[in-house]
Structure 1
Amino acid sequence: MSFLPALLAVSLAAVHALAGRLRLLDRVPRSRWLSFAGGVSVSYVFVHLLPELGEHQEAFDGVGPVAGLVDQHVYLLALVGFASFYGLERLAQRSRARRSTDGPNAETSTTDGVFWLHMGSFALYNVLIGYLLVHREAPGVASLLFFAVAMVLHFLVNDTGLRHYHRDAYDRIGRWSLALAVVVGWLLGSILTVRTLTVGALTAFLGGGVVLNVIKEELPEERESRFWAFAVGAAGYAALLLAV
């Protein structure tokens, strides 16, 4: 099975490298395919990822100075992931500056500093995803494929959102950095093995980040998102996960 994580890492990297060519995704009203992809990603977190981590909650019991204060360590870490990416989102929103153009429709983008902060944060996020292609809470080909499909669709959502904020800088630099980060994560997973506790913590953080990164793209009124496409994606993937 060792070749499969490598193949999936390359496939995930290709999403960032090539998604910009799918111009039908970057439009208003929001593409139903993006809403569908967001539904699948969130469904994976709530139906598979967090319940799976909850079954391993005992690994967190008695660990660290907060053990006596917080019983649900897994969900606390998911909250940290959610809040961290919420902070990045607010920072990007506030930093968008007017960019002069020759046409009647001015584009907007973030400042250079926020661009690099965003890319650095999402690069680490992608390194984590690449690492989890090799080391996850639940082993096996089925678990790997469910994870990879959810992340491929999640990357489509992330790629569109990051391009919306960073424009040309993302196409020139950002997408290649994030594509490379996935492969780096897979390479690290191939040569390094960390404690099960650490894998659980990183996975919980990832779960919170996935939920925020999907919801922030679906909720803004100006995106005119497709609720039914989101619901179909969420319900369909949930049914598939529960059936297997």
Structure 2
Amino acid sequence: MSAYLLGIFFILIHLFSNTFIPADRIRRNKWLSFSGGLAVSYVFVYVLPSLHREQQAIEWYSDSLTMESELYFICLLGLLLFYRVQKTVKTTHKVETNQSAFWLYIGFFTLYNMLIVYVVMAANVSFIQAIFYGAAIGLHFIAVAHDLWRENPEQYNKRGRFFLALGIIAGWFIGMFLTLSTFIQAIIFAFISGAMILNVLQNELPKEKHAHFPSFAIGVFSYTTITIALKFFFEW
């Protein structure tokens, strides 16, 4: 039940994310810096340790694998693909109208959303974990939506946000009706982790001119403290 509520929450984020971001520039900088701090903390205290656990969990495939770092390689492939998409978008933006670049971004993030939500649904998270995922991934989705909105506000509001929401719905239904092996789920998690790591460090880490360091630091330390406490008390 908690996972399904998360799916609804993620859909609402993409449909109404612009209303969550303050219009005032100073408050917006503080908000995005705080959100960036949460995202960075999520990567370092949850995603990377989880990737390590997933690698350990598939050790029984060792007879058919060549080394003990296959998932890290898949993670790197996800990072490279996302970097390639970004480079293509920027090149397209320079030589053509930004329509092509915008829809390339929308297409990639629709797939990205679908895979993230599938992983969450497949994990069958508890109520406490649902709050944890909702805070981290929800703010990540808001930051992604805001970046896409800045690229083309009219097209994002008119069509783009609905495609992103459809990606979440697709991941939701796939997670409900399709059961994949632990090995395949680990590969999907590793792939989206690579894309998420690059996106967080490149796009959500606040630039100097837009950064508010106290807000960023509060985001990092507050989310890290909560994560460590939850892991200690609930043995995640």
TM-score when scaled to structure 1? 0.81
Partner of 2:39: 41
State the shift of 1:112 in Å: 2.8
Q: Which residue of 1 aligns with 2:203?
A: 217
Report the counterpart of residue 82 of structure 1 in structure 2: 79
Higher helix share: 2
Percent sequence identity is 32
Kindly provide the CA deviation profile for residues 136-168 of structure 1, in whole angstroms up to 9, marking residues without a partner as x: 3x8533333312221110011101111122331
**Unpaired segments ≥5 residues, structure 1:** 99-108
Q: How many residues are aligned here?
A: 230
**How far has the Cα of 1:225 moved from its partner?**
2.2
Distance in 2, Cα, partners of 1:46 & 1:111 = 33
Secondary structure of 2:122 counterpart: coil
- Mark the runs of 5 or more structure 2 residues left unpaired by the alignment: 231-236
Alignment match, 1:104? none
Looking at structure 2, the residues matched to 29 and 223 of structure 1 have their Cα atoms a distance apart, in angstroms, of 14
Matched, 1:157 2:155: no
Distance 1:145-1:214 versus aligned 2 partners, 3 A rule: same
1:223, distance to aligned residue in structure 2 (A): 5.2
Q: CA deviation at 1:172?
A: 1.0
CA distance in 1, matches of 2:104, 2:64: 29
Match of 2:113 among 126, 133, 141: 126
Aligned AA for 2:218? Answer: V
CA contact (8 A) 1:26 1:160 kept: no
Q: Secondary structure at the match of 1:163?
A: helix
Do the aligned partners of 2:33 and 2:206 also contact (CA within 8 Å) in 1? Answer: no
Q: 2:234 aligns to what?
A: none
Judged with a 3 Å threshold, the aligned counterparts in structure 2 of structure 1 residues 201 and 227 are, in CA distance, closer, same or farther, namely farther
Q: Any conservation in 1 of the 2:113–2:171 contact (CA below 8 Å)?
A: yes
Asked if 1:179 corresponds to 2:165, the answer is yes
Matches within 5 A, 1:47-62: 47-61=45-59
Secondary structure in 2 matching 1:194: coil
- Quote the residue 1:208 is aligned against: 194
Q: Give the superposition deviation at 1:56.
A: 3.0
Instruction: Name the structure 2 match of 1:135.
Output: 122
String of CA shifts for 1:151-196, please: whole Å, max 9, x gaps.
1100111011111223311111111110121122111101111111
